[in-house]
Structure 1
Amino acid sequence: MESTKTFKALRVNEEDGKYIRRIEERQLSDLPEGDVLVRVNYSSLNFKDALSCIGNKGVTRNYPHTPGIDASGIVEASSDSRFQAGDEVIVTSYDLGMNTDGGFSEYIRVPADWIVRKPKNLSLKQAMVYGTAGFTAALSVYRLLAAGQTPEMGPVVVTGALGGVGAVAVCILNHLGFEVIAATSDLNDGEEALKKLGAASRIDKTETDDQSGRPMLRPKWAGAIDVVGGNVLSTLLKACQPMGNVTCCGNIGSGDLNGTVYPFILKGISLIGIDSQNCPMALRQKVWDKLADEWQCENLEEVTVECNLEELDTYIDKMIEKKSRGRVIVKL
């Protein structure tokens, strides 16, 4: 029965040196080996998915391939006793959508160790409004708090505040009582959405991209969540007040980090790396539970659009051109 059951998936094919996207009909027997078969209800679009769609071999080595590093859905079959048919689950990170066929598909099959049991207070759709981006933002906030960051220390700046990670970070920080500075690439874009998410103020990206060459700057914020990397991350460190904390969870600007040790040894700044892909399952479940409960963001619809598999191609192009805003969720 399984081998003949068909479903739809977005496939990326390498043809004459070009990467062509199209929706194809597949059979369950085409899926990789795994413990749990999941009928996907929702997925979401992330920058890593866009890279996979254009043949970035640092993300996906072999084609044809189905991208989609996020999925939420219902277990259809399981050989692992931890999950039963009918369970509502979340699958993000690990190798999903990278070299293992991902969530831009009506079905996925994955190892049981990759699966998070969906919290009761979270719908399958809400889970993908968060997705990897929201989980990364929540993990960043979690690590800031663990490092001792408090609202009393002063404002926290969030770069890429209109993006998926940034929007959720702004929302959670505001909910926890922090004054949030939103750093965006265009001051004429998204003003009302950022206010509803809880940003107290916003700054142009040039304020987080110092070109003076000075090793340290006058303190402007007490902490930061950064998705950009490169000189922006260096600037955030240089302009952070003593004993502040800066998390790094992305490199959409650059993977380089140039600077000096002075922010660390003269001001006690902590740089905290965020790895959402290989986060231990116990911590992963704990952070998802927080997103479903005390950290739940009620205004994310302001920066969320929903599409189906046939409409996804347009949003992939926007993300490749770095014109994407907020979250794009895919209803399967």
Structure 2
Amino acid sequence: MHPHLIQLTDDVPVAAVDFARDLIAGLHEQPRQVSPKYFYDSAGSALFERICELPEYYPTRTEMGLLQSRAHEMAECIGARADIVEFGAGASRKIRLLLNHLQAPQRFLPVDISGEHLHEAAGGLRRDYPGLRVEPIAADFTQGLNLPPALGRRIGFFPGSSIGNFEPEAARNLLRRMAGWLEGGGLLIGVDLVKHPDELHAAYNDAQGVTAAFNKNLLARANRELGADFELSAFDHYAFYQPQLQRIEMHLLSRARQTVRFCGQRFEFGQGQSLHTENSYKYTLESFEALARSAGFEPAAVWTDEEQRFAVHWLVLP
């Protein structure tokens, strides 16, 4: 079923219309799937912040370590008086490590789909960096982005390995759009690297069950915003590494036969039937550089930890 054929009831809030249409369309597909961008309401964003602090979840810890130890080198690449755009800014913790080394940045434009989370973080940045213009933009940059005129060399910041959530062709298209938004500047981007599956499995199946709660929050969000009747205890979090595609897959598996209703529709789930909620692709240094070149960027520098678990790439536009 195509999204434009779906008729929504009047009780769906305007802010939830896209979520409703995409979730309904995804539940009509085979296999069933939904975009991971819908993880990030206020509750989901808070859960993700908890994930980032888990001992099993190496990406945030490793990237933060790289930013702490090499931010001065990254700042030299970026240059003075930069106009910085952070894609998927969230709590804007990582940008602070760069701001402490950047020379007279012109402005910071954090972009995030979760407006409440975004504005709270922006307020903290204004307090801690009183000379910096902070202009948050609540938007889904995967669907397009209108930026104000640049005040200097425009630099993109896309940490956290979020590029891995996109299928390779979609990742290439997103990078191409970023190249247009950055107007000849550069992009600092975090990328998770290929590694032993045991380490990947542990990172997405933490002992405390925070990632499971994060995954199930998508169903809880549908209940809150769309009046759905998902029974969270009737679904299991399931995450595994797919070596042929070099990606982690996250799913929600139905524990029994059940019916879910919302927006005037009903969906039958068989026992073990999956709702595919996320992919997280892993790259080698070489494969990501090839992807960046195909999108119009030129790789100029890269920083990795000693175990080569994670990389921060500096890409420029010729």
Band the TM-score falls in, shorter-chain normalisation: 0.3 to 0.5
Point out the structure with the larger helix share: 2
